[in-house]
A = this chain, B = another copy of it.
Amino acid sequence: MLNESSRLDRAFQALADPARRGMLARLASGPATVSELALPLAMSLPAVLQHLQALEGSGLIRSEKKGRVRTCRLNPGVLSTAEQWLVDRRSEWEVRHDRFEEYVMELKDKENDDD
């Protein structure tokens, strides 16, 4: 079974590499073949393949082979799962922070009462 936590592990892990983020950025503008994805990268093709496996293993992309060319495309679902995790944390923090600001305001109001 692939629980939510290990899905996020894989997704963030996949995102933690500039070559892979480059591939995702490329794929955001449309499907691409393995060679096209490899073109801007200064590494061997097997290395590219390994990055693609990481991306596909995390569910960030999917790919299919037709003849001898494999076409990759972005899979936006996992992208937004990761995004949502970050949004949730940040918004929880912001709520707390707003409350703190309120509290500071209250203190200032009381100070003013004392004048």
Residues of chain A whose beta carbon lies under 8 Å from any beta carbon of chain B: 5-6, 8-10, 12-13, 15-18, 21, 24-25, 27-30, 74, 76, 79-80, 82-83, 85-87, 89-90, 92-94, 96-97
Contact = CB atoms under 8 A, between A and B. Distances in A.
- State how many copies of this chain the complex holds: 2
What DSSP secondary structure best describes chain A's contact surface?
A: helix
Nearest to A93: B28
Given A9-B17, A12-B13, A27-B93, 18 more contacts: A8-B15, A8-B21, A9-B18, A12-B12, A13-B13, A15-B86, A21-B85, A28-B90, A28-B92, A28-B93, A29-B96, A30-B96, A74-B93, A76-B94, A79-B86, A80-B90, A83-B87, A86-B86
